[in-house]
């Protein structure tokens, strides 16, 4: 029976009701031990009617065993694994020890999909008690799923003690009972014989005593029940003073544990570190035999059964099935804390002899008195198993403990280094940096290990810290890999001099793809050629199979001025990263994928990818990647004319990247604000912002952002009446694009030349506009060129010719959601004598960014399972989105949807409107 929990019960009922209605969510119950969180979870589990209930409980002895809690939770629904997309299915099977390996993000998506399947047909209540003791691998997967339950019929309820952080989920604080609720609880109590150490309760509780008990226990229900059972009738009635301190105090169960016989305390201790009943009895018997041989324990062999009976009679634990379960986690704490350290080590040593694998390694570590290489090796092997299943956080913990037990300093440093890598991949950058610092202390004079540690430190700094400091650390490298990392870091900072010098250093290495790219980029920035090396590197693209390699190839294309090819290569990298288990790199790859989609004019797709990347980057702790996604969202908002959103995203990005000296992302955020002004026709303000981007030095700007934004800068300068600045920008752009060979790069150059030459034209716009339109393969850029040409034709008194270009531009801008540009095209079209008509495929504009992404993948021929695997969704979520998409578009089949999407993606030319 629960008392005084109206608010908490209402919150639980709301989560369950919303799950039944198809809107899944999660709720955290937060409170101190004994306050009634488990009772609330029990009640919630009974209030879902026909809803399926899955349950797991964090157990402190298993908090370092990767996926222990997840295995307990999912065991009843393992038969549904075959319904999952294969990558997710393989990851879940790997995590649960049913396959060779797993991946963090794929695993988490697989857990979400499995919960969604388990919710069919009546919904699912997923209950996780004592979340503070759930192993890290299980906790990460469950939290990933909990934050993505929006369309699933799943209610996830977590109970956590104290201030344990649970990011991204709403919580309800479960406090002590008030006077009225406490009065109900105490008046409802019945006399009970609690066994050894418990007093017979009887008699009424006076109002004054009740108030005193509420104050002294903080209204904690467990403390109230346990305390009142130990008071005399005179104390309950107020005739005798209450004991000071109250019996049990904060320990609650300490007195009962102390009252147990020695064999019962010993068995309780073994049960406190290992819950398997058979294992507990065998280990306790072994310990009893050992003590009998030493003359310490006269109870002799076979005493464990009697000890278990005593433990149950005392009301402290029960034997249930194959497990020993304590009445409350505080009982376990009291048992463990009351045992002497030597006794605890004995218990762990006995259990180590009876277990194997990860459990044996854990018990050996707890039994160890000092450095022991054999124990450290066992822990390192356990860590490797956790890592291979995707349990990076647990692997880091095991390796850190292995390092503590490692006698040899160099081996210890290596294990600390491996622990740091696993902590990083597990989304805990702070822990990773601490472990890495400790590793450096033990590395001594070993040059190879020191360089490896420096490279890791540089990578960590680049992802979450000061990018300029990353350059300093990585430039000291003696390997091509480390120099390449240094070049990447320098590119993020925007430090051209460093990139040039790193390229010179890399030239000493044998020819090869990575060497050619690093040397070629440095040479181009130095004005010493380099384009031939980059072109040679791009000639090997067909042979590249790793996302990181494709990202370097994209950089090569970008420095050649071929932004369209760079975007194509990045999209390939993104597809590979999603499916290849590229742990730790996906949020970074998605930075560039979102940018590529935005450059292509697919603004909704870019927004959806950036939002996904932002969420993953926050979960992974990649601060600078968070800023990258915010900066891209700012540009998308700018192109849409969403001024408040643009400024907010840009401000949040700059707050990270300016102190971290990530010039590339600072430049992108500044570019967003410039494009906002340009789109809204504020040419002078846009011109000023673009000029500031050019002038910004390393850490605040970036040469890549400068050249990529040059066509926009020229347009702003011409709009502001500063033709001299536009000519200077064109001259620089021509130098940069001298070796670009793709049609789109030549189209942009032609448009820039046309813009600058427009004022000199005597009888209309220059032919370079028409040349640009012939060359464009990017529909969005084609529309921008068409708009500029249409404007000039109208002003040259050629409205008929202007209208066909303006119509095409208007349609493309409308389809992309670029409202300021569409408004500008519409105004020009009306001035040319024609009202704008509804654009082709306007129905697609009703779709959300996520729906549009799913529609695009449907058009590519992917099944719901394949789409789910790519987007880290459940197949049922994909089907839900399709269910919403069809009525919005007035269609009923995938074929019709694919046809609409293909039409949307097709380049729009002025001839389409004739």
- What pLDDT digit, counting tens, does each position of 147-170 carry? 999 889 999 999 999 878 898 899
Confidence of residue 40 (pLDDT cuts 50, 70, 90): very high
User: DSSP letter at 29?
Assistant: E
Is residue 911's pLDDT more than 60? no
Domain ranges of the chain: 6-173, 179-250, 251-354, 846-913
Cβ neighbours, 10 Å, residue 420:
28
CA neighbours within 13 Å on the CB side: how many for 340? 4
Cα Rg, the chain, nearest whole Å: 33
pLDDT (tens digit per residue) in 43-55? 999 999 999 999 9
pLDDT (tens digit per residue) in 862-887? 899 888 888 888 898 999 899 889 99
DSSP 713-773: HHHHHHHTT-HHHHHHHHHHHHHHGGG--SHHHHHHHHHHHHHHHGGG-SSSS-THHHHHH
pLDDT (tens digit per residue) in 188-204? 764 433 333 333 345 67
User: Cα separations (Å) of 903 from 106, 564, 906, 907?
Assistant: 32, 20, 5, 9
Tokens of 303: 């005493």
Provide the mean pLDDT of the chain.
88
Residues 6 or more apart from 500 whose CB is under 8 A from it? 522, 523, 525, 526
CA distance 594 to 813: 19
Tell which wins on pLDDT, 292 or 278: 278
Quote the percentage of the chain above a pLDDT of 70: 92
Peptide linkage before 121 cis (omega within 30 of 0): yes
Burial of 759 (0-12, 13-18, 19+ CB in 10 A): exposed
Closest C-alpha among 750, 736, 823, 833 to residue 787: 823
Parallel, antiparallel or unpaired: strands 154-161 and 124-129:
parallel
pLDDT (tens digit per residue) in 414-471? 999 999 999 988 888 889 999 999 999 999 889 999 999 999 999 999 999 999 999 9
Tell which wins on pLDDT, 837 or 570: 570
Helix (H, G, I), strand (E, B) or coil at 842: helix
pLDDT at 163: 79
Burial of 102 (0-12, 13-18, 19+ CB in 10 A): buried
Average pLDDT over residues 533-562: 92
Average pLDDT over residues 694-702: 93
Helix (H, G, I), strand (E, B) or coil at 109: helix
pLDDT at 837: 60
pLDDT at 466: 95
Confidence of residue 379 (pLDDT cuts 50, 70, 90): very high
pLDDT at 371: 95
CA distance 390 to 97: 11
Parallel, antiparallel or unpaired: strands 317-320 and 323-326:
antiparallel
Tokens of 590: 């998605």
Cβ neighbours, 10 Å, residue 345:
16
Residue 324's beta-bridge partner residues?
Answer: 319
> Strand ranges (DSSP E) for 331-481?
none
* CA torsion through residues 610, 615, 620, 622, sign: positive
Q: Which CATH class is domain 846-913?
A: mainly alpha
pLDDT (tens digit per residue) in 3-19? 889 999 999 999 999 99
DSSP 342-374: HHHHHHHHHHHHH--HHHHHHHHHHH--S--HH
Burial of 886 (0-12, 13-18, 19+ CB in 10 A): middle
What's the gap between Cα 780 and its chain centre? 31
Confidence of residue 751 (pLDDT cuts 50, 70, 90): very high
pLDDT at 343: 94
Tell which wins on pLDDT, 639 or 583: 639
User: Cα separations (Å) of 220 from 43, 214, 251, 354?
Assistant: 18, 8, 13, 39
CA distance 338 to 73: 31
pLDDT (tens digit per residue) in 109-137? 899 999 999 999 999 999 999 999 999 99
Confidence of residue 910 (pLDDT cuts 50, 70, 90): very low
pLDDT at 248: 57
pLDDT at 298: 45
Is residue 282's pLDDT more than 70? yes
Residues 6 or more apart from 127 whose CB is under 8 A from it? 41, 44, 45, 53, 54, 55, 56, 157
Count of residues making up the chain: 914
CATH code, 6-173: 3.40.50.300
pLDDT at 582: 52
Is residue 289's pLDDT more than 80? no
Tokens of 16: 């369950």
CA distance 475 to 491: 13
Output b/e per residue, 551-568; b: 16+ Cβ within 10 A. Answer: bbbbbbbbbbbbbbbbbb
CA distance 701 to 499: 15
Residue 118 · residue 124 · CB < 8 Å? yes
Average pLDDT over residues 378-398: 92
Maximal C-alpha separation, the chain: 114
Quote the percentage of the chain above a pLDDT of 90: 59
Confidence of residue 316 (pLDDT cuts 50, 70, 90): very high
Residues 6 or more apart from 690 whose CB is under 8 A from it? 674, 709, 712, 713, 716, 717
In 134-239, which residue ranges form alpha helices assigned H by DSSP?
136-146, 179-187, 207-217, 221-228, 233-237
Is residue 842's pLDDT more than 70? no
Angle between helices 262-273 and 303-313 (to 10 degrees): 80
CA distance 914 to 909: 10
Helix (H, G, I), strand (E, B) or coil at 649: helix
């Amino acid at each position: 029976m629960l008392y005084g929990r109206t608010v908490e019960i209402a919150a639980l009922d709301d989560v369950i009701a919303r799950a039944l209605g198809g809107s899944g969510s999660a709720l955290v119950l937060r409170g101190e031990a004994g306050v009634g969180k488990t009772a609330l979870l029990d009640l919630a589990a009974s209030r879902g009617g026909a809803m399926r209930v899955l349950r797991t409980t964090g157990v402190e002895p298993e908090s370092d065993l990767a996926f222990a809690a997840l295995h307990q939770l999912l065991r009843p629904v393992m038969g549904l694994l075959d319904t999952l997309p294969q990558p997710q299915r393989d990851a879940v099977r790997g995590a649960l020890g049913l396959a060779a390996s797993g991946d963090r993000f794929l695993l988490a998506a697989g857990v979400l999909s499995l919960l969604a399947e388990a919710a069919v047909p009546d919904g699912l209540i997923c209950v996780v008690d004592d979340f503070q003791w759930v192993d890290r691998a299980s906790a990460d997967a469950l939290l990933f799923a909990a934050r993505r339950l929006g369309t699933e019929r799943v209610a996830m309820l977590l109970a956590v003690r104290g201030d344990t952080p649970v990011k991204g989920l709403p919580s309800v604080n479960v406090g002590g009972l008030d006077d009225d609720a406490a009065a109900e609880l105490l008046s409802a109590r019945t006399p009970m014989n609690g066994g050894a150490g418990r007093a017979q309760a009887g008699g009424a509780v006076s109002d004054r005593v009740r108030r005193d008990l509420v104050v002294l226990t903080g209204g904690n229900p467990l403390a109230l029940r346990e305390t009142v059972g130990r008071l005399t009738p005179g104390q309950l009635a107020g005739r005798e003073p209450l004991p000071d301190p109250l019996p049990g105090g904060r320990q609650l169960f300490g007195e009962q544990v102390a009252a147990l016989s020695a064999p019962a305390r010993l068995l309780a201790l073994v049960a406190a570190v290992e819950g398997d009943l058979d294992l507990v009895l065998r280990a306790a018997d072994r310990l009893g035999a050992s003590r009998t041989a030493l003359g310490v324990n006269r109870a002799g062999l076979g005493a464990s059964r009697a000890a278990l009976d005593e433990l149950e009679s005392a009301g402290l634990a029960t034997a249930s099935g194959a497990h020993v379960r304590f009445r409350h986690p505080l009982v376990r704490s009291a048992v463990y804390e009351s045992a002497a350290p030597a006794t605890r080590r004995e218990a762990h040593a006995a259990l180590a002899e009876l277990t194997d694998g990860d459990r044996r390694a854990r018990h050996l570590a707890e039994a160890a008195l000092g450095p022991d290489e054999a124990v450290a090796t066992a822990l390192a092997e356990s860590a490797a198993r956790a890592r291979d299943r995707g349990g990076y956080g647990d692997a880091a913990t095991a390796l850190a403990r292995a390092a503590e037990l490692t006698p040899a300093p160099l081996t210890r440093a290596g294990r600390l280094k491996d622990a740091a890598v696993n902590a990083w991949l597990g989304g805990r950058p702070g822990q990773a940096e601490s472990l890495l610092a400790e590793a450096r202390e033990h590395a001594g004079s070993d040059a190879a290990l020191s360089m490896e540690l420096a490279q890791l430190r540089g990578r960590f700094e680049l992802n979450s810290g000061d990018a300029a400091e990353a350059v300093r650390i990585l430039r000291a490298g003696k390997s091509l890999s480390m120099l390449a990392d240094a070049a990447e870091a320098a590119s993020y900072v925007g430090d051209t001099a460093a990139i040039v010098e790193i390229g010179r250093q890399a030239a000493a290495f044998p020819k090869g793809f990575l060497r050619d790219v690093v040397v070629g980029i440095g040479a181009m920035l130095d004005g010493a050629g380099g384009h031939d090396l980059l072109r040679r590197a791009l000639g090997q693209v067909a042979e590249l199979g790793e996302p990181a390699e494709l990202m370097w190839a994209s950089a090569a294309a970008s420095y050649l001025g071929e932004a369209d090819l760079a975007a194509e290569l990045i999209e390939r990298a993104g597809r590979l990263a999603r499916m290849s288990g590229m742990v730790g790199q996906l949020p970074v790859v998605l930075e560039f994928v979102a940018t590529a989609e935005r450059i292509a004019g697919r603004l909704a797709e870019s927004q959806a990818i950036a939002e996904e990347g932002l969420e993953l980057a926050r979960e992974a702790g990649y601060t600078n990647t968070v800023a990258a996604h915010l900066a891209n969202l700012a540009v998308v908002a700018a192109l849409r004319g969403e001024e408040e959103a643009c400024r907010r995203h840009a401000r949040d990005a700059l707050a990270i990247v300016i102190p971290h000296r990530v010039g590339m992302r600072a430049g992108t955020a500044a570019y967003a604000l410039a494009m906002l002004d340009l789109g809204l026709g504020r040419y002078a303000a846009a011109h000023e912002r673009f000029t500031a981007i050019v002038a910004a030095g390393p850490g605040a700007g970036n040469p890549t952002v400068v050249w990529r934004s040059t066509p926009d800068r020229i347009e702003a300068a011409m709009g502001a009446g500063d033709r001299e600045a536009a000519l200077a920008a064109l001259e620089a752009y021509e130098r940069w694009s001298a070796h670009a060979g793709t049609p789109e790069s030549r189209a942009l150059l032609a448009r820039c030349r046309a813009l600058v030459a427009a004022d000199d034209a005597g009888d209309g716009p220059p032919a370079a506009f028409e040349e640009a339109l012939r060359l464009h393969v990017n529909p969005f850029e084609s529309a921008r060129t068409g708009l500029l040409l249409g404007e000039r034709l109208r002003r040259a008194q050629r409205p008929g010719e202007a209208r066909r270009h303006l119509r095409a531009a208007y349609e493309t801008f409308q389809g992309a959601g670029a409202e300021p540009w569409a408004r500008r095209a519409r105004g020009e079209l009306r001035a040319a004598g024609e009202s704008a008509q509804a654009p082709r495929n306007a129905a697609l504009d009703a779709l959300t960014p996520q729906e549009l992404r799913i529609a695009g993948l449907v058009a590519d021929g992917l099944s719901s399972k394949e789409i789910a695997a790519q987007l880290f969704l459940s197949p049922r979520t994909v089907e839900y989105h399709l269910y919403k998409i069809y009525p919005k578009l007035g269609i009923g089949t995938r074929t019709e949807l694919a046809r609409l999407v293909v039409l949307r993606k097709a380049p729009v030319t002025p001839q389409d409107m004739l």
